[in-house]
Chains A and B, each alone.
Chain A
Amino acid sequence: DADVTQTPRNRITKTGKRIMLECSQTKGHDRMYWYRQDPGLGLRLIYYSFDVKDINKGEISDGYSVSRQAQAKFSLSLESAIPNQTALYFCATTGTTNTGELFFGEGSRLTVL
């Protein structure tokens, strides 16, 4: 089983709909991240959390919200999806020592029509 699991792996939705992407990890890490990947733009940070009571905005947080339900779970929500949120979304984790190595899930591909 994967150490970092994302659900759903693929989702097609319509403009204005609410969508939630879920992430769970079995690595025991405190730090969790949500990134968005667009062609040619690399990965851009949406939100990150260093523990259950700590939530921080990244560089592109507008239009997104997150919830850290437990140490192992970090979900990303789009309250009212729009077409330019069509992208590949990745969850990642790292330990407190933060050597710089992130452990990524396999990604959630979201299409907003």
Chain B
Amino acid sequence: GDSVTQMEGPVTLSEEAFLTINCTYTATGYPSLFWYVQYPGEGLQLLLKATKADDKGSNKGFEATYRKETTSFHLEKGSVQVSDSAVYFCALRNNAGNMLTFGGGTRLMVKP
């Protein structure tokens, strides 16, 4: 079945540091890939997505590139802020189905 693997957290960074959160997936066919963010006390919200190989999703300074050859969708940001502290979830939707499969989530803590 489909699965998503994320690096375990927490990831602790200083403000303005470079962020990478790794995400790899296993799926049949050509899934769509997503990053969701969960701020403290809130539900998840879509951060960015990519629907085909080599697509780059971007939003709020974050970006991720759909790499089919490595089955990866790593999240990056060049300069994190304290307000980026949250839990980040990688997810996929297999085009054969209607469901999202989520990774385990990675907590990011950014210190001033």
Q: A40-B8, A42-B89 are in contact. Are A90 and B102 (CB under 8 A)?
A: no
Q: A107 contacts which chain B residues (CB < 8 A)?
A: 42-43
Q: Give the number of residues in A that approach B within 8 Å (Cβ atoms).
A: 22
Q: A60 contacts which chain B residues (CB < 8 A)?
A: none
Q: A92 contacts which chain B residues (CB < 8 A)?
A: 43-44
Among A31, A42, A50, A90, the residue within 8 A (CB) of B43 is A90
Distance in angstroms between the alpha carbons of A1 and B53 in the assembled complex: 38
Distance in angstroms between the alpha carbons of A42 and B8 in the assembled complex: 11
Residue in A40, A45, A100, A101 whose Cβ sees the most chain B Cβ within 10 Å: A100
Measured CB to CB, the closest approach of chain A to B106, in angstroms, equals 10
Q: A41 contacts which chain B residues (CB < 8 A)?
A: 104
Quick check: is B99 within 8 A (CB to CB) of the other chain? yes
Evaluate contact between A42 and B44: CB separation under 8 angstroms. no
Task: Describe B's contact surface by its main secondary structure.
Answer: strand
Name the residue on A nearest B43 (C-beta): A104
Q: Give the number of residues in B that approach A within 8 Å (Cβ atoms).
A: 21
Quick one: which of B41-70 are within 8 Å of A by CB? 41-46, 49
Chain B interface residues (CB < 8 Å from chain A)? 4, 8, 32, 34, 36, 41-46, 49, 89, 93, 98-100, 102-105
Name the residue on A nearest B44 (C-beta): A104
Other contacts beyond A58-B99, A106-B41: 13, CB < 8 A: A31-B98, A40-B105, A42-B4, A42-B104, A43-B102, A48-B99, A90-B44, A102-B44, A102-B46, A104-B43, A104-B44, A104-B45, A107-B42
Evaluate contact between B98 and A42: CB separation under 8 angstroms. no
Evaluate contact between A106 and B32: CB separation under 8 angstroms. no
Distance in angstroms between the alpha carbons of A88 and B46 in the assembled complex: 19
Evaluate contact between A45 and B99: CB separation under 8 angstroms. yes
